[in-house]
Structure 1
Amino acid sequence: MPAVGYGPGMTVLPRAFAWQRTDIAGGEFVTLDDRRGLRAKGVTFAADNALYTCRYELHADESWASTRLEVTVEGAGWLRTLRMERAAGRWRVTTSEVGDLEKVLPTAPLPGIEEPDRLHSVLDLDLYNSPLTNTLPVRRLGLLQAEQGTKAQVEAAWVLLPSLAVLPLEQSYEVLGPRLVRYRSENFAADLELTGDGYVAEYPGLASLA
């Protein structure tokens, strides 16, 4: 799979957001069109468990269900790519690798997922430490308009960085008040402050909207 491209012929997208990481050196910048579902192109970088940069393109349909993700992650001496596409209710996952991430990060799992059928119920993609992808279930489930106390359970495809391993992950969202939802996954929880159209303004311990 070729690296995510931004060359001639690419559509100019009308909106942009940037988040600054508050836990480590890093950030995320994304341009997007959310008038009919979502089309987004983003760049992240982090001095996390390995120093890397990530370029991605993400699509969701008019119901805000995820349909496609292409990711390229690159560090010193290595590069990995991932492509996920949902069609007829099934996910197709392909990967490639150049160099050897394991030399930098010996614990890094292989990219992708051995059994894509484990993702059969997944409608949301969750890119590791990306505030943008929290918007997908918020918009898909109508949580901005929901009453306080509303809870929703989802199963997301969690895309780890920098490995690009894909894991099914149970998540929940609870409406705490206007523009405030509690995100939970396993033993983790965070109260997310949202903008008026559902993007993360403040993710405690992770990132703030610039």
Structure 2
Amino acid sequence: MSSLTEHPAAWTRTDVPEGLGLGTLLPEPDGHRLEAGETVVEGEERFFTRFTVRTDLAWTTREVRAEVLSASGPESVTLRAQDGHWTDADGRPLAELVGCLDVDVAATPLTNTLPIRRLGLRPGEHRDIAVVWIDIPSLRVRRVRQRYTRYPAEDGLERYTYRDPLHGEYRLSVDGNGLVVDYERFARRLRSDA
């Protein structure tokens, strides 16, 4: 993963007129850290998002902090998890999130890496999971059911579909690190000559 530290992945959003995201995976002694940011311009709406996700060595989310800067000013949300039990920044339990092992920050496709790495699906397998969904830019938090299905690799990339009841089904292609290269109707990774 050292190449990701030196050259973070960049995505262009394909679902809005202007959107650019940047993210990286960083190894830590007791797990992994995802760092990402995104700028979106859609009509009169303009916002910048930055988030950090910390996981254990098995890719289970332990902490997430998401920040948004928009016309209404800066806002943030911090959540912590242990054994599928979530709390807010003040330590209050969030009963509706019990059992969620992953977080999905609705910004860059970087957080799709979490269930892809954690589940370790083989081609032909699928898994239904409950995740903590953080809407961007509102920072509303909710529990969402998602299904990941893995397909045989094509053109050197792993293939998945992602489905949830809020947004429908999308095809994903990912590299060997589990990072999204193409996310149908949402984002496409920018290539680098470096």
Shorter-chain TM-score tier: 0.7 to 0.9
Shift of 1:89: 3.9
- Which whole-Å deviations, capped at 9, do the CAs of 1:160-199 have from their partners, x for residues lacking one? 0111010100000111212001111016001101112211
Partners of 2:22 and 2:108 within 8 A in 1? no
Shift of 1:122: 0.4
Task: Check if 1:27 corresponds to 2:27.
Answer: no
In the alignment, the residues of structure 1 paired with residue 84 and residue 148 of structure 2 have an alpha-carbon distance, to the nearest angstrom, of 23
Runs of 4+ in 1 over 6 A off after TM superposition: none
Task: Check if 1:201 corresponds to 2:155.
Answer: no
Partners of 2:49 and 2:107 within 8 A in 1? no
Shift of 1:16: 1.4
3-state SS in 1 of match to 2:114: helix
Aligned to 2:139: 164
C-alpha change, 1:15 and 1:91, in structure 2 (3 Å) is farther
Gaps of 5+ in 2: none
3-state SS in 2 of match to 1:140: helix
Partners of 2:126 and 2:148 within 8 A in 1? yes
In the alignment, the residues of structure 1 paired with residue 104 and residue 27 of structure 2 have an alpha-carbon distance, to the nearest angstrom, of 17
3-state SS in 1 of match to 2:57: coil
3-state SS in 1 of match to 2:112: helix
TM-score normalized by structure 2? 0.84
Partners of 1:52 and 1:74 within 8 A in 2? yes
RMSD: 2.1
C-alpha change, 1:35 and 1:68, in structure 2 (3 Å) is closer
C-alpha change, 1:87 and 1:122, in structure 2 (3 Å) is same
The residue correspondences of 1:94-133 to structure 2 (distance < 5 A) are 94=89, 116-133=94-111
Q: Flag the structure with higher strand content.
A: 2
In the alignment, the residues of structure 1 paired with residue 42 and residue 110 of structure 2 have an alpha-carbon distance, to the nearest angstrom, of 18
In the alignment, the residues of structure 1 paired with residue 93 and residue 84 of structure 2 have an alpha-carbon distance, to the nearest angstrom, of 15
3-state SS in 1 of match to 2:111: helix
C-alpha change, 1:21 and 1:185, in structure 2 (3 Å) is same
Equivalent residues, number: 177
